[in-house]
């Protein structure tokens, strides 16, 4: 069974004049590999999955795969609020040779716990050749898997893990203590330190784009407060506006991506506080 641990980044999708900027994406990947990041999620929230075309997703995945070592993690986001569209996306992922997919809870239509369980069970049973990681992010979806639902889903052999992004460390501790999955990953930068202290396996992060080394130090020694206190002001600045607005502005200010451009309805973040905290850390 595949196990994921350590620092994984939910990749941004750089744009320039409306098109995917592969030159900038190459630089983003290189920076993170050099900082010790173990792998990437393509087509997640941070990658602006709601506004990417399926052909773009395919091309981005193949590009990232060509740029990273064979032993680096590579996970593809395939979620939808339609069970059947999610199923189609997973089948396309299988055709691309994807080993693991990240599947978000259905958003907007707000299913019950029973509906959530059936959604993921259907996807698992229809696609037994691929590993599935659940993505629990209630601030985005309006629903949250509860512990009973997670216990029911943990019996599916190919549901191997969860990206727990509620930010509720007590809920995360329940999942960790019950050892429900082989890969229990944080999806919330702010609770990362506490998550690792509680025994979590790692993170699918956002600030890891530019703080890979720092997150790795905290992962190895989560009881040391100094490193965490040092980066916390930058984390707050990055999340002052909706992700990925902040991280794209930071990457642009650092000269890693050509533009902080996003696709509507998201617009560029204000730079004042981000630039200030980047300078405080010697990153701009």
For residues 202 and 36, is the Cβ–Cβ distance under 8 A? no
135 flagged as catalytic: yes
For residues 161 and 182, is the Cβ–Cβ distance under 8 A? yes
Strand runs labelled E in the chain: 6-10, 15-16, 19-20, 39-42, 73-77, 100-104, 131-136, 159-164, 183-186, 202-205
Q: Which of 135, 193, 239, 248 is catalytic?
A: 135
Distance CA 54, CA 156 (A): 27
DSSP secondary structure of 3-26: ---EEEEE----EETTEE-HHHHH
163 flagged as catalytic: yes
Q: Which of 163, 193, 248, 249 is catalytic?
A: 163
Q: Which whole-number Å values give the CA distances from 206 to 14, 22, 41, 123, 243, in the listed order?
A: 14, 19, 10, 27, 8
Q: Which residues are catalytic?
A: 135, 163
């Amino acid at each position: 069974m595949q196990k994921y641990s350590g620092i994984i980044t939910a990749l941004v999708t750089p744009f320039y004049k409306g098109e995917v900027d592969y030159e900038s994406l190459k630089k983003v990947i290189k920076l993170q590999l050099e900082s010790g990041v173990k792998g990437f999620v393509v087509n997640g929230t941070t990658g602006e999955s709601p506004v990417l075309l399926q052909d773009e997703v395919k091309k981005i995945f193949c590009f990232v795969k060509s740029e990273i070592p064979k032993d680096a993690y590579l996970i593809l986001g395939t979620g939808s609020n339609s069970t059947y569209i999610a199923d189609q996306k997973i089948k396309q992922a299988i055709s691309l040779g994807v080993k693991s997919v990240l599947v978000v809870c259905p958003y907007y239509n707000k299913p019950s716990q029973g509906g959530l369980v059936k959604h993921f069970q259907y996807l698992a049973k229809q696609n037994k050749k691929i590993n599935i990681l659940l993505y629990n992010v209630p601030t985005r979806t309006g629903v949250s898997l509860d512990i009973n639902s997670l216990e029911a889903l943990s019996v599916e052999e190919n549901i191997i893990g969860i990206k727990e992004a509620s930010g509720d460390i007590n809920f995360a501790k329940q999942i960790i203590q019950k050892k429900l999955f082989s890969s229990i990953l944080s999806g919330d930068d702010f609770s990362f330190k506490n998550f690792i202290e509680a025994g979590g396996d790692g993170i699918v992060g956002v600030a890891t784009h530019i703080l890979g080394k720092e997150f790795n130090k905290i992962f190895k020694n989560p009881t040391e407060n100094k490193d965490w206190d040092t980066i916390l002001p930058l984390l707050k600045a990055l999340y002052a506006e909706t992700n990925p607005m902040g991280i794209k502005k930071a990457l642009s200010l650092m000269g890693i991506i050509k533009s902080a451009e996003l696709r509507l309805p998201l617009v560029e973040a204000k730079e004042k506080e981000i630039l200030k905290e980047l300078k405080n850390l010697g990153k701009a």
